[in-house]
Structure formats: C-alpha cells, structure tokens
C-alpha cells in the first residue's frame, strides 16, 4: 500500500515507524496515506478497534448509527491488535489490547521499529505502548489535543497531573503539538526545553476545496431542498448537538438578530447534526415562532461540503473544544467563520475581524454582535472567507510532513528533516 522506495533509499535507510491509535479516524486517514507516500518512512499503523469501520452508534450524535462514507483503511499498512476489551467507545480503558510489545519487538535481534508514535497518552493502550517501547529502546513521540484552558481541575488533580508528566517526560523523546495552545500545554507540563515539533492539526485541504467547488453548481438545488429564499444570508452550524457545543447559545443569539418583535431575522439559521440536545433545540426554535431555522440531522463526511458551499458564515460556539477540525474544513470552502475563544483552533486560524470573528464562550450578546459584524454587508463575509482560504492553505498536510520529518530526524538520526 505504501509507495515503493526509490533506488537510492534502501530498506535499512528507511525509518520504520509504528503508529498506535485507538481506531480508524476519518480525519486521520488522508494524513496516513500522505505519510505512507514518503519514500524513506516505512509506516505501520496499529489500531485497537475497528468499530468505526463496521459502523456504530455514536452517543455524541444522540445514538445515530454512523458509518463513514470516506475510505478509512486505504493507502497505508495497518493491523488490528488482538482485543481484550472493546465496546465501540474510546475511553482510558477501552479499547484495550494485547500483543503491542510483541509486535514492537519483532522476530529478529533488534526491534521491529525505529520509532513509536502514539496518539494520546491517557489510555491503557498508550501507556502499554510507551512502556514497551522504552523496554525495547525504541524512541517515542506523542501527539495529543489538550490545552491548558480545556478543563477546570482541583489543586489535587493538578498536582497528580504534574507528577504524571514528570514521569512521562522520562519515557518519551518528543511531542508533536497540533497548534499554539497545545504547544503551550506541553511547555507547561514538560518544560520549556522539552523537544517540540509542530505537526499542525490539518485536514485534506485539496479534498475539501475540490468538493466545495463541485458543490457550487448545485447550490440552488440544496437551497430549494431546504426551502430557503434566494438572496438571504445563511448561518451554518454543523457539529454534534450536545451541551458543550453550545448550539443553544447560537439559537439565542440568532433570535436577537430580529429587527423587531414578531419579525424574522434576515439570515437563515441552518443546523446540521444530531445529538441528545436536538429535541430541546427544536422546542426552543418552535417556541421562538421563527420560520427561518432549519434542522438537517446528521450528514456524512462527503455531504458536508454542500452545506459549506451554501453558507455565508459558519459558527462554532463550543466550550472546551480541543481543536474543531470542522473549522479547517469550512475555511477550505472560503467561508467566514465565527468561533468562541474556547475553540482550540482559534489561536492559529481565526483572527477577529480578519477571517471571521471570535467571541467569549457563553456570551450570547457577544455572539450576536459577531454575527452582525460578519454579516454587515455581503462583501464583509465574502472577504473574510477569502482571507480564511488563504490562511488555511498554509495549514496543511505538507506542514505535517515537515514537522513529522523533523521529529524523526531528531530521534532516529536516519532521515533528513
């Protein structure tokens, strides 16, 4: 599945990299295919579970059956580890597997891999892999999503966490921050001098740009499908309908756009997604008396670019959002984006008044004001979208490859950065 190495790169010259991750993830599959094309990186991915491939009930989407319509396993070498525990969820104790140490050990007089990359650090599998790699003398790299503002913790928990990271820092050789806030997190817990190699949280920019362009000729078809009048702006929300996503804040802010009591706001509000808050949000919309709100339910990965293309502005008002990769996706459609200051991608991708707007999480009036500013004129939102497209074009898989290669060059001494 990987691209063959060119003649001047022998198998002994290639970095044999193992990647340990819970399950096939729709956002990661294109990146893994891209890494597998590197002629001097020999990638093998070890999954703990196959639930995302078979289809599953996603509690975050309100128990809706999810089966991704994009290829999750094509284009890179992968294996599923033998299972001890798997309940189709990702928690610190599930999936739980065995055979990690044996697979890293190999059958020869040296380890089977030159480096282990682990996604996350707070699961049994991750700690098993890190411990096994240490016993075998294999360098370890970690990539995770956390940032310092993502949760409030007691003093006791913070002390325990610092102790944990003091131990972890002795067992890993580098971390690969996904962005600025994540880098601050690692520096806080591991120290200013700990090796960091930026590996941005990116999406397949080419895919989302091309799919959005393909959607444009059918824009009016979707507008008719949703019964939207031509010429009115469209505010889009697309995520899980659960409390931390704060779609209720958006709904309340939207109502404040009405020019007077009893009158409709000029924009439409289109809500894509499902979850345990859907019924309460629909009741809230019904009680508002507004006929300009649409609930579209869960839509699969390949369907979303049609909604991105339709939108004037996209809003993600979340609390405690580690990153929010859908922000990357929408920016590839050249659309303005409004996010709360608790969306992790904000620091790197959205400057208030440039690519969209940023507001304090939970502040409904500030969100309403951000909507008014962004939708002040049709050109305001359009220009923000153009700037966003330019910015996201420099936050891509190619930057990921550069960061990964820098990390591999440092810890294995086998390839160039």
Q: Where are the domains of the chain?
A: 15-202+397-412, 205-392
Cβ atoms of 108 and 136 closer than 8 Å:
no
Same fold across 15-202+397-412 and 205-392: yes
| CA neighbor of 188 nearest in space, from 199, 198, 177 | 177
Helices (H), 12-109: 29-36, 51-54, 100-105
Question: Which DSSP symbol is given to 173?
Answer: S
SS3 of 190, please? helix
Distance CA 69, CA 25 (A): 12
Mean pLDDT (whole number) for 15-19: 98
Question: Which DSSP symbol is given to 23?
Answer: S
Query: Which residue, chain included where needed, has tokens 């928990």?
Result: 157
pLDDT tens digit string along 305-353?
Answer: 999 999 999 999 999 999 999 999 999 999 999 999 999 999 999 999 9
Which architecture characterizes domain 205-392 according to CATH?
Answer: 3-Layer(aba) Sandwich (3.40)
Helices 180-190 and 155-168 meet at what angle, rounded to 10?
Answer: 80
Mean pLDDT (whole number) for 45-62: 76
Which of 64-68, 108-112, 226-230, 259-263 bottoms out in mean pLDDT, i.e. has the lowest?
A: 64-68
Whole-prediction pTM value?
0.90
Q: Domain 15-202+397-412 is in which class? A: alpha beta
């Amino acid at each position: 599945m990987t691209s063959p190495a060119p003649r001047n790169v022998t198998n002994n010259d290639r970095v044999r990299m193992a990647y340990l991750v819970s399950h096939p993830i729709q956002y990661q599959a294109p990146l893994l295919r891209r890494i597998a094309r590197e002629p001097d990186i020999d990638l093998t991915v070890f999954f703990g579970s196959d639930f995302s491939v078979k289809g599953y009930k996603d509690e975050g989407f309100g128990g809706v059956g999810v089966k991704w319509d994009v290829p999750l396993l094509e284009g890179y070498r992968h294996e599923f580890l033998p299972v001890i525990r798997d309940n189709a969820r990702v928690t610190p104790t599930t999936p739980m597997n065995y055979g990690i140490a044996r697979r890293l050990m190999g059958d020869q007089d040296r380890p089977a891999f030159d480096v282990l990359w682990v996604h996350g650090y707070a699961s049994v599998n991750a700690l098993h892999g890190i411990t096994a790699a240490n016993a075998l003398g294999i360098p370890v790299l970690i990539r995770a999503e956390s940032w310092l503002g993502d949760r409030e913790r007691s003093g006791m928990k913070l002390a325990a966490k610092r102790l944990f990271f003091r131990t972890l820092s002795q067992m890993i050789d580098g971390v690969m921050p996904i962005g600025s806030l994540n880098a601050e997190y690692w520096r806080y817990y591991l120290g200013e001098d700990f090796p960091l190699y930026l590996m941005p949280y990116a999406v397949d920019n080419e895919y989302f740009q091309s799919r959005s362009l393909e959607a444009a000729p059918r824009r009016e078809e979707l507008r008719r499908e949703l019964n939207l009048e031509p010429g009115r702006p469209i505010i889009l929300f697309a995520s899980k309908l659960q409390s931390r996503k704060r779609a209720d804040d958006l709904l309340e802010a939207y109502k404040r756009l009405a020019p007077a009591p009893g009158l409709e706001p000029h924009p439409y509000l289109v809500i894509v997604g499902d979850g345990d808050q859907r019924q309460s949000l629909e009741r809230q919309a019904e009680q508002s008396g507004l006929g300009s709100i649409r609930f579209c339910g869960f839509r699969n990965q390949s369907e979303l670019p049609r909604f991105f293309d339709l939108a004037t502005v996209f809003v993600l008002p979340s609390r405690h959002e580690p990153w929010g990769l859908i922000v990357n996706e929408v920016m590839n459609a050249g659309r303005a984006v409004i996010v709360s200051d608790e969306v992790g991608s904000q620091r790197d991708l959205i400057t208030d008044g440039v690519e969209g707007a940023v507001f304090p999480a939970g502040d409904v009036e500030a969100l309403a004001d951000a909507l008014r500013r962004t939708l002040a004129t049709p050109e305001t939102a359009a220009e923000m979208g153009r700037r966003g497209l330019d910015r996201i074009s420099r936050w891509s898989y190619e930057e990921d490859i550069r960061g990964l290669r820098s990390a591999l060059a440092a810890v294995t001494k086998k390839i160039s950065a």
